């Protein structure tokens, strides 16, 4: 069994982004800029936004952060997005999800200019990906695909199963694996006999949001598992209750059967931010008619 080290691979991507940012500055006097909009006080979102800001600056890009009140008026948020659409120093725009319930998430995402939609959630980018055209690819599935390409190599003809059909992970993952010529099955909460489907899969991508959902008896010997899940559980240690981060896969037992598996933490998570930086760089190159670095995109 091999642990697929997403943390190390994500670091390599950030290094590549950093050197490309340097070249852009030297040769074209352009600094890529990422604008992140945070609405409200959700603790997890605040941590994500803070990390994104730090890593954006670390690779030499400009980071613009906008923090809006929980009760912000929808028009005010839309006006901000439109302002960022028109700002030539901003090449990527991201609205941290989830947004408070009174805001129309779809409308806000679809107001972002598709070329600046570095999360790849705009309906135009969804359609482009779906039809196999050049698009902004959602960061988490992009990170999963990069790990699979690195670890497995050619994916053609592989049987892949994606557990979960969300718009941000499951569905784009299906499309990406299909464009790699995998034979892909998507399973969800209404699927019958999930384990029978999983056991025949060369590649298993779990994006469910349930700790230890994938059992070792579901895993084909020699297969590769990408665990997207991030679940916070409580464990008892030395009489104390502690919080622990786990994925959707029973790592301890599945790792004995699979050939490769991503850990949680240290697998897909770090890839997501690195792919966000890669997408921002790509968006900047495209908007300036500069050839985008092939190794950082699809
Ligand atoms: P989501 O929107 O809640 O979707 C979960 C999917 O799992 C749904 O399609 C759901 O099926 C399916 N599901 C739930 N219970 C199931 C069951 N018992 N059997 C089979 N399928 C079941 O979640 P998400 O946004 O895709 O995220 C999934 C996980 O990935 C979460 O833990 C999240 O925190 C994590 N995540 C990690 C990253 C990262 O950077 N590493 C990024 C995004 C998400 P239905 O459609 O039928 O309800």
Q: Using a 6 Å cutoff on CB, does residue 228 contact ligand 1?
A: yes
Cα of 167 to ligand 1 centre, how many Å? 10
232 lines ligand 1 (CB under 6 A): no
Active site (catalytic) residues: 52, 96, 119
Contact 207, 166 (CB under 8 A): yes
pLDDT tens-place string over residues 207-235: 999 999 999 999 999 999 999 999 999 99
Q: List the chain domain ranges.
A: 28-112, 139-269
C-alpha to C-alpha distance for 36 and 50, rounded to whole angstroms: 10
Which residue has its alpha carbon closest to ligand 1 atom 4? 166
> What DSSP line would sit under 253-291, residue for residue?
HHTTT-SEE--SSSSHHHHHHHHHHHHHHHHHHHHTT-P
With a 6 A CB cut-off, is 208 part of the ligand 1 pocket? yes
Where do the H-state alpha helices sit in the chain? 6-28, 43-58, 74-86, 105-109, 123-130, 139-152, 170-179, 194-198, 251-254, 268-287
| Nearest atom (ligand 1) to Cα of 271 | 40
| Residues 75-106: tens digit of each pLDDT | 999 999 999 999 999 999 999 999 999 999 99
What tens digit of pLDDT does each residue of 42-80 get?
999 999 999 999 999 999 999 999 999 999 999 999 999
Cα 79 to Cα 99: distance, rounded to the nearest angstrom: 16
**Which residues 6+ apart lie within 8 Å of 252 measured at CB?**
none
Pocket test for ligand 1, best of 167, 188, 231, 244 (most atoms within 8 A of CB): 188
What 3-state class would DSSP assign to 97?
A: coil
For residue 164 and ligand 1, the question of a CB distance below 6 A is answered with yes
Name the pLDDT band for 37 (thresholds 50, 70, 90).
Answer: very high
- Cα 271 to ligand 1 centroid, rounded to whole Å: 17
Q: HSE on the CB side for 26, CA within 13 Å?
A: 6
For residue 78, whether the previous peptide bond is cis, meaning omega lies within 30 degrees of 0, is: no
Question: How many Cα atoms sit within 13 Å of 20 on the Cβ side?
Answer: 24
Rounded to the nearest 10 degrees, the angle between the axes of helix 139-152 and helix 170-179 is 40
189 lines ligand 1 (CB under 6 A): yes
Fold assignment, 139-269? Rossmann fold (3.40.50)
pTM above 0.95, yes or no: yes
Closest CA to 269 of 192, 196, 207, 220: 207
What is the CA(291)–ligand 1 centre distance, in A?
35
Number of Cβ within 10 Å of residue 206's Cβ equals 29
pLDDT value of position 178 = 98
pLDDT digits (tens, 9 = 90+) for 271-287: 999 999 999 999 999 99
d(CA 213, ligand 1 centre) in Å: 11
Q: Which of 77, 67, 65, 66 is nearest to 102 (CA)?
A: 77
Architecture of domain 28-112: 3-Layer(aba) Sandwich (3.40)
Residue identifier of the C-alpha nearest atom 34 of ligand 1: 230
């Amino acid at each position: 069994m091999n642990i697929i080290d997403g943390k190390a691979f994500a670091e390599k991507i950030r290094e590549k982004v950093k050197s490309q940012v340097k070249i852009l500055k030297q040769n074209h006097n352009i600094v890529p800029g990422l604008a992140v909009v945070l609405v409200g006080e959700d603790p997890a979102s605040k941590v994500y936004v803070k990390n994104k800001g730090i890593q954006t600056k670390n690779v030499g890009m400009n980071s613009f952060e906008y923090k809006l009140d929980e009760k912000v008026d929808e028009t005010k948020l839309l006006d901000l997005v439109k302002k960022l659409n028109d700002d030539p120093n901003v090449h990527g725009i991201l609205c941290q999800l989830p947004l408070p319930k009174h805001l129309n998430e779809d409308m806000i995402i679809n107001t972002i200019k598709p070329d600046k939609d570095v999360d790849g959630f705009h309906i135009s980018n969804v359609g482009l990906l779906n039809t196999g055209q050049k698009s902004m690819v959602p960061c988490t599935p992009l990170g999963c695909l990069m790990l699979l390409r690195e670890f497995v190599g050619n994916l053609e003809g592989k049987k892949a199963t994606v557990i979960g059909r969300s718009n941000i992970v499951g569905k784009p993952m299906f499309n990406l694996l299909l464009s790699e010529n995998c034979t892909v099955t998507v399973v969800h909460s209404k699927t019958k006999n999930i384990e029978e489907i999983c056991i025949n899969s060369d590649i298993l991508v779990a994006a469910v949001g349930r700790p230890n959902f994938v059992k070792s008896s579901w895993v084909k010997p020699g297969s590769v598992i990408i665990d997207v899940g991030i679940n916070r559980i409580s464990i008892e240690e030395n009489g104390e209750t502690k919080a622990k981060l786990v994925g959707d896969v029973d790592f301890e037992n599945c790792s004995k059967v699979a050939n490769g598996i991503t850990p949680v933490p240290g697998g897909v998570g770090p890839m997501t931010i690195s792919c966000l930086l890669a997408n921002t760089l790509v968006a900047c190159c495209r908007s300036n008619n500069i050839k985008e670095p092939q190794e950082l995109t699809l």
